[in-house]
Amino acid sequence: MKKDDTKQFEKFMKSIIVKAGKKTLQYFGKAKVQYTKKHDNDTVTQADLASNKIIVDAIRKTFPLHGIISEENKVQETDKEYTWIIDPVDGTGNFEKEIPLYGVIIALVKNKEIILGSVYFPYTDKLYFASKGMGAYKNGKRIRCSTATSLTHQRITGYIQIMRKRKKQIRLFNESSEKYDYWHSEYGTGAYDMMLVAEGKAALYFSPNLGGGIWDIAGPYLILKESGCTTTNFDGKPWTMKDSIEIIAANPVIHRQVMKIIRVKK
């Protein structure tokens, strides 16, 4: 991939994610649910579909040979050299309830490797972006993860309250709160939770695989990594797209502490 190609992709991604995000604002407070998926709280609104159409149509026109994986597309194209991974509205439940914490996520993958990631929050006009090896940024300003050296009295984010897969590890982590006295916040959109960690406002993102999709994590993952976070699955192995939304992200010191807490002997 040529350097000029990267710049072209970057410019396109930043432009289209903001355009799609601003479109969702037109529906905020009045969007109608178009249909539900797995359960009553797993909804698709007019905003999801409008945002998806803007992004997908632009990719089809500009990069017709590229693949697309989107939460709102029936056909997922995974056999291309370049693939765009899209969550047109992350936090639809918030959006539907007129809670302004929601975002748009786009990532670009080349040969199974994430090379660009972006998250845009329309209501606050905040754009997070990362290019592989080039650092992480918010509205053009460099961001870095927390420098905390202990979980004690830190804010953490993620899904520690849900007891499904990785039950033992989640239980062990929950029990550690008595020792470290951290406090947990979860805002209804994983992208927002992860960006708090990427810019050092929270010390840890902790999420078991709850059955979501790669569109939830691909973009935020690269931003976390480029901000200086160690990013792994619950076995401590480097996160890959095969791990889906299972991820632990924190600075190296906090990450080692978390892995020590949840280590389960087989």
pLDDT digits (tens, 9 = 90+) for 189-216: 999 999 999 999 999 999 987 767 899 9
34-51: b or e for each residue (b if 16 or more CB lie within 10 Å)?
eeeeeeeeebbbbbbbbb
pLDDT of residue 81: 94
Q: Is the pLDDT of residue 53 over 90?
A: yes
Q: H helices of 199-251, where?
A: 218-226
- What six digits make up the tokens of 11? 């410019």
* Phi (first) and psi of residue 127, to 5 degrees: -115, 120
- pLDDT over 70 percentage in the chain: 90
Amino acid at 157: T
Q: Is the pLDDT of residue 34 over 60?
A: no
Token look-up 């660009």 returns 116
- What six digits make up the tokens of 150? 């202990």
Computed on alpha carbons and rounded to an integer, the radius of gyration of the chain in Å comes to: 18
pLDDT of residue 77: 78
Question: What are 136-146's pLDDT values in tens digits?
Answer: 999 999 999 99
Q: Does residue 45 contact residue 92 with C-beta atoms inside 8 Å?
A: yes
- Cα 6 to chain centroid distance, Å, stands at 21
pLDDT of residue 62: 97
Backbone CA torsion sign across 102, 219, 74, 40: negative
Domains of the chain in start order, with CATH, are 3-134 (3.30.540.10), 155-262 (3.40.190.80)
Whose CA is closest to 33, among 93, 86, 90? 93
pLDDT of residue 31: 62
Whose CA is closest to 259, among 182, 148, 176, 145? 176
Q: Is the pLDDT of residue 244 over 60?
A: yes
pLDDT of residue 205: 97
Please state the rounded mean pLDDT for residues 254-263: 95
Q: Is the pLDDT of residue 4 over 70?
A: no
Question: What are 81-108's pLDDT values in tens digits?
Answer: 999 999 999 998 899 899 999 999 999 9
Backbone CA torsion sign across 212, 75, 107, 78: positive
Amino acid at 96: E
Average pLDDT score over the chain: 90
Question: What are 209-224's pLDDT values in tens digits?
Answer: 776 789 999 999 999 9
Please state the rounded mean pLDDT for residues 39-59: 82
pLDDT of residue 73: 77
pTM of the model: 0.92
pLDDT of residue 38: 46
Q: Does residue 231 contact residue 247 with C-beta atoms inside 8 Å?
A: yes
d(CA 250, CA 266): 25
